[in-house]
């Protein structure tokens, strides 16, 4: 069984009682919650982490973290690379994640339309959903250009400064807009990020009117995106499909063209899912 070579003296610390009362009050199983926190931390650091790094990130005792890592390793949820001394997400975590995607079937249905969208535009096509007050990317079809935008599946971005986030926020309604502003705030990521609530609401009104949203360097300098919403059978926003690329190719003149392309793709995915979108998607 692989052991982290940096875990000498691991039993020296203790986290007895840390978070135990909180876990008990919330009905959580403490060891399970801690194991899941390790998986989440490793997922956010794709290259891998040392035992020391995980301990530092989570504030747990080295002995506790190593015991949980060993259990997760036995079940193949994590793996240890002896050469680098790093713990990484294991194959079983992929199996579980793939099971989620298959159960929704959203990605497999959307992917052919994403490929067509990428082919028509030459830019990277993305599929994203709202989860926990953020946007999470589910799938991507990469542009064939040397310079291209990448948002790997599982990546998260704020709602207020991304095209996929704004278009879904616009469809979710005022209650959700208010909740996001209250709970998440409007942090500034670039000079163009919308950080004023009134400005954001005006922007969302415009998004509803035109049927697509734009990200004009609001999330990252030099990056532009266009996104449109995908709806379910209850006329509720289910996901968003987007195009993203560098400003050098996505000029002001191309923005309306890309907006029309993502609207078309979103309407096709909605129809393929048996969904029903507002009339503006077909206009």
> What pLDDT, in 10s, does the model give residues 84-143?
999 999 998 888 876 665 555 889 899 999 999 999 999 999 999 998 888 999 999 988
Asked if the model's pLDDT at residue 56 lies above 90, the reply is yes
**Is the CA virtual torsion 6, 4, 83, 87 positive or negative?**
negative
> pLDDT at position 60, please?
94
> Are 200 and 117 found together in one domain?
yes
At 238-274, the pLDDT tens digits run 999 999 999 999 999 999 999 999 999 999 999 998 8
> Are 109 and 174 found together in one domain?
yes
Asked if the model's pLDDT at residue 182 lies above 60, the reply is yes
The fraction of the chain above a pLDDT of 70, given in percent, is 84
- What's the angle, vertex CA 26, arms to CA 79 and CA 183, rounded to 5? 85
Residue 3 lies in a domain: no
How many angstroms separate the most distant Cα atoms in the chain?
Answer: 67
For 136, the domain range is 105-282
> Are 201 and 272 found together in one domain?
yes
Asked if the model's pLDDT at residue 14 lies above 50, the reply is no
CB of 212 within 8 A of CB of 261? no
At 199-223, the pLDDT tens digits run 999 999 999 999 999 999 999 999 9
> pLDDT at position 26, please?
54
Report the C-alpha gap between 230 and 110 in whole angstroms: 10
> Are 157 and 51 found together in one domain?
no
For helices 62-74 and 30-44, the axis angle rounded to 10 degrees is 80
Tell me which DSSP letter residue 200 carries: H
Asked if the model's pLDDT at residue 16 lies above 60, the reply is no
Q: Give exposure, 202-216, as e/b (b: 16+ Cβ within 10 Å).
A: ebbeebeebbbbbbb
Question: Across all residues in the chain, what is the average pLDDT?
Answer: 85
* Domain's final residue, options 69, 94, 119: 94
> Are 24 and 130 found together in one domain?
no
> Are 265 and 237 found together in one domain?
yes
Residue 6 lies in a domain: no
> Are 209 and 130 found together in one domain?
yes
- In this prediction, residue 21 has a pLDDT band, given cuts at 50, 70 and 90, of very low
164 against 19, higher pLDDT: 164
Report the C-alpha gap between 73 and 90 in whole angstroms: 8
> Are 84 and 110 found together in one domain?
no
41 against 281, higher pLDDT: 41
* Domain's final residue, options 64, 94, 124: 94
Asked if the model's pLDDT at residue 283 lies above 50, the reply is no
> pLDDT at position 278, please?
74
Residue 238 lies in a domain: yes
Q: Where residue 212 sits, what CATH number does that domain have?
A: 3.30.450.40
The fraction of the chain above a pLDDT of 90, given in percent, is 64
Asked if the model's pLDDT at residue 188 lies above 60, the reply is yes
Residue with tokens 């942090």: 187
Nearest C-alpha neighbor of 238 from the set 80, 92, 127: 127
> pLDDT at position 147, please?
62
> Are 49 and 120 found together in one domain?
no
Look up residue 236 and give its two tokens: 């509720």
> pLDDT at position 102, please?
55
Look up residue 201 and give its two tokens: 């609401």
**Is the CA virtual torsion 104, 109, 110, 112 positive or negative?**
positive
pTM: 0.65
**Is the CA virtual torsion 27, 134, 43, 61 positive or negative?**
negative
Report the C-alpha gap between 122 and 100 in whole angstroms: 29
> Are 111 and 207 found together in one domain?
yes
* Domain's final residue, options 32, 59, 94: 94
Residue 26 lies in a domain: yes
- In this prediction, residue 148 has a pLDDT band, given cuts at 50, 70 and 90, of low
Tell me which DSSP letter residue 49 carries: B
Asked if the model's pLDDT at residue 38 lies above 60, the reply is yes
Asked if the model's pLDDT at residue 1 lies above 90, the reply is no
> pLDDT at position 103, please?
54
> pLDDT at position 104, please?
58
81, 86, 92, 94: CA torsion to nearest 10:
-110
> Are 256 and 189 found together in one domain?
yes
> Are 116 and 152 found together in one domain?
yes
CB of 221 within 8 A of CB of 247? no
Q: Where residue 80 sits, what CATH number does that domain have?
A: 1.10.10.10
Q: Domain tally for the chain? A: 2
Instruction: Please give the full DSSP string across 90-149, using - where no structure is assigned.
Output: -HHHHHHHHHHHHHH-HHHHHHHHHHHHHHHHSSEEEEEEEETTEEEEEEEE--SSSS--
> pLDDT at position 176, please?
86
Residue 243 lies in a domain: yes
Residues 6+ apart with CB under 8 A from 215: 161, 162, 163, 166, 223, 224, 225, 226, 227, 244
At 229-243, the pLDDT tens digits run 999 888 899 999 999
Pair type for strands 237-246 and 124-131: antiparallel
Report the C-alpha gap between 226 and 40 in whole angstroms: 29
Asked if the model's pLDDT at residue 10 lies above 60, the reply is no
């Amino acid at each position: 069984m692989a052991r982290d070579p940096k875990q000498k003296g691991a039993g020296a610390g203790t986290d007895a009682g840390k978070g135990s009362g909180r876990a008990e009050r919330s009905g959580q199983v403490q060891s399970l919650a801690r194991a899941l926190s390790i998986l989440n931390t490793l997922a956010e650091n794709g290259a891998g982490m040392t035992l020391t790094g995980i301990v530092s990130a989570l504030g747990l005792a080295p002995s506790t973290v190593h015991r949980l890592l060993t259990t997760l390793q036995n079940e193949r949820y994590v793996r240890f690379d002896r050469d680098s001394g790093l713990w990484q997400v294991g194959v079983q975590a992929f199996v579980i994640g793939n099971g989620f995607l298959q159960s929704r079937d959203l990605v497999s249905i959307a992917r052919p339309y994403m490929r067509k969208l990428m082919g028509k535009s030459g830019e990277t096509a993305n599929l994203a959903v709202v989860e926990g007050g953020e946007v999470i990317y589910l799938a991507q079809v990469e542009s064939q250009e040397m310079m291209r935008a990448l948002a790997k599946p599982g990546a998260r971005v704020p709602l207020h400064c991304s095209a996929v986030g704004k278009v879904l926020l616009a469809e979710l309604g005022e209650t959700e807009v208010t909740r996001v502003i209250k709970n998440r705030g409007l942090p500034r990521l670039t000079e163009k990020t919308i950080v004023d609530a009134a400005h954001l609401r005006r922007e969302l009104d415009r998004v509803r009117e035109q049927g697509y949203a734009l990200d004009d360097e609001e999330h990252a300098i030099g990056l532009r995106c266009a996104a449109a919403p995908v709806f379910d059978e209850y006329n509720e926003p289910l996901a968003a499909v987007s195009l993203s690329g560098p400003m050098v190719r996505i000029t002001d003149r191309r923005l309306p063209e890309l907006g029309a392309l993502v609207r078309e793709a979103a309407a096709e995915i909605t129809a393929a899912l048996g969904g029903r979108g507002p009339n503006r998607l077909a206009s």
